[in-house]
């Protein structure tokens, strides 16, 4: 009897805990802002691409002939201090100068208003003095666009992190803003939207097993009781136990709350 009470109480507690876990706010998965598109290759690694002349930020008031962009979508760049914890960074190979173009974002994807294609928006870059702002400071920000081109693949298994296709880079000095556009096969809408994969928790599995076992127990137990000529409540297997179950559960909960301590009772002395 004690074992039955323990099992039933455990199942009830597991059900309650599993219910709480189901109510938790789900973690936002990176790339969830671009449903129907393939962002797997984009988020698989840190990508690099080259900029030239006016696409590069000045170094000591001189625009370098080339610069290198580093892009981490759903990945934090771990580079020299200025670019640590960022999503987009630029460097000048000539003198190893770095600019933080945008702070890290865990889910930067946004859909185009008119499909196909999607974009990313990054803010919180480095504050610089821009020639286009009349000497005033402004904060760097970056928008990266991905437009559909079924022939433009980004192989995530390649040994090189260099993007295989040159982007269109536009820098607006008056806003300290980069607008970069790539051709990308994954920006073409999928024929079949990706199906979310759901995984049952351990508590859910136990509840399913318990419900199936309980159904089997009552069904076959009742059939056996009927075959033996029982009627009414006697058809229920162990009917006395199930009628007392609420009392047993209440006692078990009180016993748990009191940490196993049994309340002391005062008795009148025997005269």
What pLDDT shows up at residue 194?
34
Indicate whether 228 pLDDT > 60. yes
CA distances in angstroms from 133 to 101, 129, 190, listed in the order given: 17, 8, 42
Question: Tell me, what's the pLDDT at 21?
Answer: 41
Looking at residue 20, what is its pLDDT? 39
Measured CA to CA, the distance from residue 84 to residue 103 in angstroms comes to: 9
- What is the set of domains in the chain, with CATH numbers? 2-24+198-257 (no CATH), 47-187 (2.70.130.10)
**pLDDT value at residue 270:** 61
Count of CB atoms situated within 10 Å of the CB of 155: 10
Tell me whether the omega of the peptide bond preceding residue 116 falls within 30 degrees of 0, making it cis. Answer: yes
The pLDDT of residue 131: 67
pLDDT tens track for 108-132: 888 887 778 899 989 999 898 876 5
pLDDT at 146: 93
pLDDT band (50, 70, 90) for residue 40: confident
Handedness of CA 100, 142, 149, 111 (dihedral sign): positive
- Would the pLDDT of 19 be above 80? no
pLDDT beyond 70 at 79: yes
Q: Which residue in the block uniquely carries the two structure tokens 């127990």?
A: 217
The CA radius of gyration of the chain, in Å to the nearest whole number, is: 32
pLDDT at position 62: 84
* Tokens encoding 113: 């208003």
Is this prediction's pTM over 0.85?
A: no
27 — alpha (psi -120 to 50), left (phi > 0) or beta? Answer: beta
pLDDT of the residue at 37: 86
């Amino acid at each position: 009897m004690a074992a039955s009470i323990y099992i039933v109480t455990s199942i009830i507690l597991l059900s309650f805990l599993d219910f709480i876990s189901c109510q938790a706010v789900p973690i936002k998965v990176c790339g969830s802002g671009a449903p129907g598109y393939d962002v797997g290759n984009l988020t698989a690694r840190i990508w690099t691409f080259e900029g030239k002349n006016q696409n590069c930020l000045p170094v000591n008031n001189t625009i370098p002939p080339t610069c290198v962009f580093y892009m981490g979508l759903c990945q934090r760049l771990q580079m020299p201090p200025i670019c640590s914890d960022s999503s987009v960074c630029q460097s000048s190979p000539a003198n190893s100068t770095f600019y933080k173009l945008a702070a890290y974002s865990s889910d930067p994807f946004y859909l185009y208003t008119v499909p196909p294609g999607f974009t990313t928006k990054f803010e919180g870059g480095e504050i610089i003095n821009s020639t286009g702002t009349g000497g005033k400071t402004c904060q760097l920000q970056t928008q990266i666009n991905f437009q559909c081109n079924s022939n433009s693949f980004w192989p995530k298994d390649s040994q090189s992190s260099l993007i295989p296709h040159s982007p269109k880079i536009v820098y607006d000095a008056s806003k300290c803003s980069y607008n970069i556009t790539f051709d990308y096969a994954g920006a073409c809408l999928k024929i079949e939207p990706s199906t979310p994969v759901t995984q049952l928790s351990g508590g859910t599995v136990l509840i399913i097993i318990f419900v199936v076992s309980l159904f089997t127990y009552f069904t076959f137990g009742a059939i056996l009781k009927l075959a033996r000529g029982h009627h009414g409540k006697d058809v229920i297997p162990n009917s006395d136990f199930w009628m007392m179950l609420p009392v047993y559960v209440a006692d078990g909960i009180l016993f748990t709350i009191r940490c196993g301590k049994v309340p002391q009772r005062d008795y009148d002395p025997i005269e």
